[in-house]
């Protein structure tokens, strides 16, 4: 029903999701179907015997998505896929933790340029705004540098774009009260970064996906950056901890770590964790998510799309009770 209503509003677009079986990508596919867009999802032959990915793709198909065979080792297959749609949303993997995506994304940009028909491209960003990270510490810098390489390729090819800065995914940063190397709330002690009063921004991944799809098809976001800053989710780490303490009825022991000690401890971590720690440092000590105003050439998602009833961290954390 909802899908039909949206179609009647006449905003129907053909949307291709690349990386559609990934952590964020699957949510983008669902959000696109919910918006009533004709939703295309890349099906890579390389998934081979990955039955979970295949089953997910088939469930998308059952919900009305169109599966498009394409491979990053066959640029023509990407061009053919891109030619079938108006909008391309990339949700390819980030650099650390999983697999290296910069070369893949550059191939995608090349295919979009060759196809010449795309009205909007969203590269896989969805985090810290890489254009503001010129002074980031060495650990984790790659993430930003590589995303800037992709931006440059997009802009040089004159491809219409939207960049989405989604801030902290709740699953990686809120569920754990912003603790590293765990994804669930701590039960006794919590590490507090510095004084714990630096403002950060958390967002539920399903909400992020909805904002992404809306931004991808909205004329107001053409060639702009969209920041996802839901007002109630702009919180300090201490405020987040307080929300959990109130919900759980238990007070946690707070152990404060200074910037100096945090940096010193990074050196003992493996490479992926070092990158993660570098990101935590920029977010929780340097305040990179909130130390600027959204100015000219940018928009804020919850203002643009007030119809999205975003999840507050109070509601988000209830699942862990």
Closest approach of Cβ 273 to ligand GO6, in Å? 6
Give the count of residues interacting with ligand NDP (CB under 6 A).
28
Which residues, 6 or more positions from 321, have their beta carbon under 8 angstroms from its beta carbon? 247, 248
Residue list 84-103, contact with ligand GO6 (CB under 6 A): 94, 96-97
Residues 58 and 6: their CA atoms lie apart, in Å, by 23
Name the residue nearer to ligand GO6 (CB basis): 115 or 168: 168
Residue 275 interface partner, choices ligand GO6, ligand NDP, none, CB cut-off 5-8 Å depending on type:
ligand GO6
Per CB under 6 A, the list member of 16, 25, 139, 235 interacting with ligand NDP is 25
Q: Which stretch binds ligand GO6 (CB under 6 A): 53-61, 112-120, 166-174, 207-215?
A: 166-174
Write each residue from 269 to 298 as x if it is in contact with ligand GO6 (CB under 6 A), else as -, in one continuous string. Answer: ----x-xx--x-------------------
Residue 72 interface partner, choices ligand GO6, ligand NDP, none, CB cut-off 5-8 Å depending on type:
ligand NDP
Residue list 84-143, contact with ligand NDP (CB under 6 A): 91-94, 98-99, 104, 124-127
- Please tell me which residue in 26, 30, 53, 147 is annotated as part of the active site: 147
Residue list 115-154, contact with ligand GO6 (CB under 6 A): 127-128, 143
Beta carbons of 217 and 11 less than 8 angstroms apart? yes
Residue list 175-194, contact with ligand GO6 (CB under 6 A): 176, 180-181, 183
Give the count of residues interacting with ligand GO6 (CB under 6 A).
17
- Alpha-carbon distances, residue 165 vs 1, 186, 239, 277 (angstroms): 31, 28, 22, 19
CA-based max dimension of the chain: 58
Name the residue nearer to ligand NDP (CB basis): 18 or 118: 18
Which residues, 6 or more positions from 129, have their beta carbon under 8 angstroms from its beta carbon? 163, 165, 225, 227
In the sheet that 168-169 helps form, which strands lie side by side, from edge to edge? 168-169, 199-203, 234-236
Which of 305, 281, 319, 307 has the alpha carbon at shortest distance from 128? 281
The yes-or-no answer on residue 147 being catalytic is: yes
3-state secondary structure of 152: helix
The label of the residue with tokens 């949303």 reads 89
Which residues, 6 or more positions from 79, have their beta carbon under 8 angstroms from its beta carbon? 111, 114, 115
Residues binding ligand GO6 (CB under 6 A): 94, 96-97, 127-128, 143, 167-168, 172, 176, 180-181, 183, 273, 275-276, 279
Which are the catalytic amino acids? 147
């Amino acid at each position: 029903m909802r899908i039909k209503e949206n179609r009647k509003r006449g905003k129907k677009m053909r949307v291709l999701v690349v990386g559609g079986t990934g952590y964020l990508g699957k949510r983008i596919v669902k959000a696109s179907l919910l918006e009533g867009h004709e939703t295309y999802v890349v099906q890579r032959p390389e998934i081979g015997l990955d039955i979970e990915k295949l089953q997910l793709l088939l469930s998308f198909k059952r919900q009305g998505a169109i599966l498009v065979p394409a491979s990053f080792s066959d640029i023509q297959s990407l061009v053919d896929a891109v030619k079938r749609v108006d909008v391309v949303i990339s949700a390819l993997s980030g650099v650390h933790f999983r697999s290296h995506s910069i070369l893949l994304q550059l191939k995608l940009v090349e295919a979009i340029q060759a196809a010449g028909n795309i009205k909007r491209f969203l590269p896989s960003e969805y985090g810290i705004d890489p254009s503001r990270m010129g002074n980031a510490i060495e650990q984790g810098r790659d993430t930003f540098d590589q995303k800037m390489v992709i931006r440059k390729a997009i802009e040089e090819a004159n491809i219409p774009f939207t960049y989405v800065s989604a801030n902290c995914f709740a699953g990686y940063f809120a569920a754990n009260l912003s603790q590293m190397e765990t994804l669930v709330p701590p039960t006794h002690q919590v590490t507090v970064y510095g004084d714990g009063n630096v403002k950060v921004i958390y967002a539920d991944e399903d909400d992020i996906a909805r904002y992404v799809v809306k931004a991808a098809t909205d004329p107001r976001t053409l060639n702009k950056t969209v920041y996802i800053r839901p007002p109630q989710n702009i919180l300090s780490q201490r405020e987040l901890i307080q929300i959990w303490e109130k919900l759980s009825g238990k007070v946690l022991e707070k152990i404060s770590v200074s910037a100096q000690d945090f940096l010193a401890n990074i050196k003992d971590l493996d490479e992926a964790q070092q990158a993660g720690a570098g990101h935590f440092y920029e977010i929780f000590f340097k305040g990179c998510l909130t130390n600027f105003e959204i100015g000219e050439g940018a928009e804020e998602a919850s203002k643009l799309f007030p119809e999205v009833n975003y999840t507050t961290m109070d509601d988000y954390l209830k699942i862990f009770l």
